[in-house]
Amino acid sequence: MIQKFSEIKIDTEGQRLINISKKIDDFVEKSKINYGILNLSILHTSASLIIQENASKDVLIDLENFFNKLVPMNDSLYLHTLEGKDDMPAHIKTSLTNTNLSLSIIKNILKLGTWQGIYLFEHRIEKHLRSIFCHIIGEK
Amino acid sequence: MIQKFSEIKIDTEGQRLINISKKIDDFVEKSKINYGILNLSILHTSASLIIQENASKDVLIDLENFFNKLVPMNDSLYLHTLEGKDDMPAHIKTSLTNTNLSLSIIKNILKLGTWQGIYLFEHRIEKHLRSIFCHIIGEK
Amino acid sequence: MIQKFSEIKIDTEGQRLINISKKIDDFVEKSKINYGILNLSILHTSASLIIQENASKDVLIDLENFFNKLVPMNDSLYLHTLEGKDDMPAHIKTSLTNTNLSLSIIKNILKLGTWQGIYLFEHRIEKHLRSIFCHIIGEK
C-alpha cells in the first residue's frame, strides 16, 4: 500500500465554478500510483466540489444562476446574517453539492468520463484562498 | 491489498430511477474481497447515483417528480439549450445528487441498510447507454 | 493494510442537525490508524450526513428551515404518504444531501477544516435510532 497526499490551494475571485482537473491530474501523475482511489476534501463550508461538464461554459453559468435563484441572498430568510448576505446561502449551496469526492485511478490516470471535469464551486462573493486536501491510497 | 475494478453498462430509457444493487452485488461477490471499500463513479454529467429506499415504487416516482419541478425544462431559464430542453436540467440534477458513492464491504457483502438500494438516476428523456466504474480496495 | 470498522448508534429526537464529530474522532483515535481514508455510511434513507460549520447554531437552524421550505410536508405533492407527511420529504432531503462521506486521516486525526463539523441530519419528526457505519482503510 502506498499513500500520497497534498493540500492544493486555489485563489477564488467571487462566485464561480473553477475547473481544477489539471491540478488534480498533476497530483495523480506525480504520485506515481497506478491503481488506487483518490479522495478529495474541500476544507470549507462555503465552497464545494462537483464533477460537471468540461466543454460548455454556458453550463457553468447556468449552474451558478440556478443555485443563486434556488438559494437567494436575502437577509430576511436567514438568522445567520453576521458574515454577509452571501454567507448563509453559501453554506446551503455547499450542503446541496459536495465537500468530498472519491475517484478511481487506473494506470496512473483519473477515471473520469470524456465530458467530466472536477470543479471547485465558490459560493462567496469576495476573494478567498481555498484548500483542497488530496489523498490517494493505492499501489504501483 | 487487492484491487478489483469493472465498468458496468446500463441501458436507460428516459427519466427514471433504476435499481442497480443486484449488478453491484454481483461485482462485489465476484471480487471475492471480504473487507474493503467500494467506490462507484458514474462517468456522465447528466445522470447520477443515489442511495434510496428499495421498497416503495411511489418513492421513486415522487423523487422524479420533485426533481422535475425543482429544475424545470424551460429553455428561457438557461443559456445552454443546444443539446435539448432536458440537458441543462439534467446537469443541474446531477450536481444536486451524486456522481460518486463510497460503500463498505464486510464479509464480501455491501454494508447497506435494510431499506437501501443503489440507483442510477437517469435525467435525460432519450435512451442512453450509461457507464458506472466500480472499484474495490480491500483484502480477503 | 489495516482495516477498522464500527457501527455508531445515534438517538435522534425530531428534525435536527446533530454534531457527531466527537464520536467519529473517538473511533479514529481508537483505531490507531495514522494514515488512511475513513468512509461513513448512514444506513437509512430518511436521515443523511453533511459536513457543515461547527460554530454558529444559527447556521444549523437556517439549514433546517431552508430544507423544510424547499421540500414541504404537503401530502398533495406526493404519492408516498403512508408513512407520514414527513417521510417522503425526508427521502428527498436525503437525496439532496449525502448518505456517504469519505475523509482523510493524517497522523491519526481527521483532516477537516477549522470550521468543519460532521453532522447527522435527521429529517423525520419522530424519535429514531440511527446507525452510521464507520470504516477506515489505512496503516500505522
pTM score above 0.90: yes
d(CA C138, CA C140): 7
**Helix or strand holding residue A65 (H, E):** helix A57-70
- Amino acid A123: pLDDT: 98
Q: What angle do CA A63, A64, A65 make, to 5 degrees?
A: 90
Size of interface A-C (CB pairs under 8 A): 87
Question: Which residues fall within 8 angstroms of residue C136, CB to CB, at 6 or more apart?
Answer: C2, C3, C4, C5, C27, C28, C31, C33, C36, C37, C38, C39, C105
CA distance C90 to chain B (A): 11
The count of other CB atoms within 10 Å of the CB of residue B13 is 11
Specify which residues C128 forms β-bridges with.
Answer: C12
Contact state of C62 with A71 under an 8 Å Cβ cutoff: no
Residue B64 cell numbers, joined:
422524479
Q: Going along chain A, which residue ranges are E strands?
A: 2-13, 16-19, 35-42, 47-53, 100-106, 109-110, 116-122, 127-139
pLDDT digits (tens, 9 = 90+) for A76-103: 999 999 999 999 999 999 999 999 999 9
Chains that touch B (3 or more CB pairs under 8 A): A, C
Interface test with C, best of B1, B41, B102 (most C CBs within 10 A): B102
Could you tell me the CA-to-CA distances from C94 to A130, B53, B76, C13, C71 in Å, in that order?
27, 10, 30, 17, 11
In the sheet that holds B100-106, the strands lie side by side as B2-13, B127-139, B35-42, B100-106, B109-110
Q: What angle do CA A18, A23, A24 make, to 5 degrees?
A: 100
Residue of chain C minimizing CA distance to B112: C43
Contact state of A39 with C97 under an 8 Å Cβ cutoff: no
Residue B17's region, left for phi above 0, alpha for psi from -120 to 50, else beta, is: beta
CA distance C84 to chain A (A): 24
d(CA A82, CA A32): 45
Residue B129 cell numbers, joined:
447507454
Which of chain B's residues have a Cβ under 8 Å away from the Cβ of A55?
none
Contact state of B52 with C102 under an 8 Å Cβ cutoff: no
Dihedrals phi, psi of A28, to nearest 5 degrees: -65, -45
Interface test with C, best of B59, B67, B68, B103 (most C CBs within 10 A): B59
**AA identity, residue A28:** V
Yes or no: say if B74 and A69 are a contact pair by the CB < 8 Å rule.
no
Helix axis angle for B57-70 and B87-96, nearest 10°, is 120
pLDDT tens-place values along chain B, 140 residues long: 999 999 999 999 999 999 999 999 999 999 999 999 999 999 999 999 999 999 999 999 999 999 999 999 998 999 999 999 999 999 999 999 999 999 999 999 999 999 999 999 999 999 999 999 999 999 99
Interface test with C, best of B1, B35, B37 (most C CBs within 10 A): B37
Q: Which of residues 4-43 of C touch A (CB under 8 A)?
A: 35-37
Contact state of B43 with A116 under an 8 Å Cβ cutoff: yes
Residue A75 cell numbers, joined:
437577509
* Class of residue C131 by CB neighbours under 10 A (exposed 0-12, middle 13-18, buried 19+): middle
Contact state of B113 with C44 under an 8 Å Cβ cutoff: yes
Residue C119 cell numbers, joined:
453532522
* Class of residue B65 by CB neighbours under 10 A (exposed 0-12, middle 13-18, buried 19+): middle
Contact state of A95 with C63 under an 8 Å Cβ cutoff: yes
Task: State chain B's mean pLDDT as an integer.
Answer: 98
Q: Are strands A16-19 and C116-122 parallel, antiparallel or unpaired?
A: unpaired
Extract the residue ranges of chain A whose pLDDT is less than 50: none
Size of interface B-C (CB pairs under 8 A): 87
Contact state of B91 with A61 under an 8 Å Cβ cutoff: no
Helix axis angle for C57-70 and C87-96, nearest 10°, is 120
- Amino acid C131: pLDDT: 98
pLDDT digits (tens, 9 = 90+) for C10-50: 999 999 999 999 999 999 999 999 999 999 999 999 999 99
Question: Which residues fall within 8 angstroms of residue B12, CB to CB, at 6 or more apart?
Answer: B18, B47, B120, B122, B124, B127, B128, B129, B130
CA distance B119 to chain A (A): 18
pLDDT tens-place values along chain C, 140 residues long: 999 999 999 999 999 999 999 999 999 999 999 999 999 999 999 999 999 999 999 999 999 999 999 999 998 999 999 999 999 999 999 999 999 999 999 999 999 999 999 999 999 999 999 999 999 999 99
Specify which residues B113 forms β-bridges with.
Answer: none
Which of chain A's residues have a Cβ under 8 Å away from the Cβ of C56?
80, 82
Contact state of B45 with A116 under an 8 Å Cβ cutoff: yes
Contact state of A91 with C35 under an 8 Å Cβ cutoff: no
Nearest to C115 by CA among A12, A11, A47: A47
Which of chain A's residues have a Cβ under 8 Å away from the Cβ of C114?
43
Which of chain B's residues have a Cβ under 8 Å away from the Cβ of A113?
42-45, 131
Yes or no: say if C78 and C88 are a contact pair by the CB < 8 Å rule.
yes
Give the ipTM.
0.97
Whether residue C55 lies within 8 A of chain A, CB to CB, comes out as no
Contact state of A91 with C52 under an 8 Å Cβ cutoff: yes
Residue A36 cell numbers, joined:
488506487
